[in-house]
Structure 1
Amino acid sequence: MRSRMQQTIGKVPLEALLWLVGLTLLALMDPRGDHLLSLCPFSWVLESGCPGCGLGHGIAFLARGEWRASWEAHPLTVPAVLLLLWRCGRLLYFHYRYV
């Protein structure tokens, strides 16, 4: 028998689950700490990084209420987070509405 939590998680659309877990992990990271490894392949090749560089730090700063630091890390942090949360909400809404 599966627990109630396993049944609920099993019903969540995978895309929504991955976005929510990713946002949560980014929000929990220490934006001022040392980073030994970057997951961005552009940062491995280009010194200037990619257009998305700084979003992870921006999300971590935003989760701590540091609006200015979030803006300085990446100006599109707030729109990106809102867009991803909207996407997750739509996925969950349509999934549970038609299940």
Structure 2
Amino acid sequence: MEFIKLIKRMPYIHCARGPLRCEKCKEFENRGESFALIKVYLEQGDIARPMTEVYVGCQRIFGEYDVLKRFEDDNEAKHYAINNGIEIIFS
């Protein structure tokens, strides 16, 4: 399955159901957002994952994703992106 890795500011979540349907996700909602290294799948998979919007080239894609790593602060995320050649999305 094809995927891309990137760093994006993401909310803390527990599962694909989200805070409206999941108590654990509701608890995480109060944490806010932080930069995370995510793996975005370009094709649909067989298991439920949360979705995010990303641009691949000029094409907008809504893809399933997995969080691979959370960063403590913005500087850590920037250094990781530079050292590993990974795109970071600031918006």
TM-score if structure 1 supplies the norm length? Answer: 0.21
Larger strand percent: 2
Q: Larger Cα Rg: Structure 1 or Structure 2?
A: 1
Larger helix percent: 1
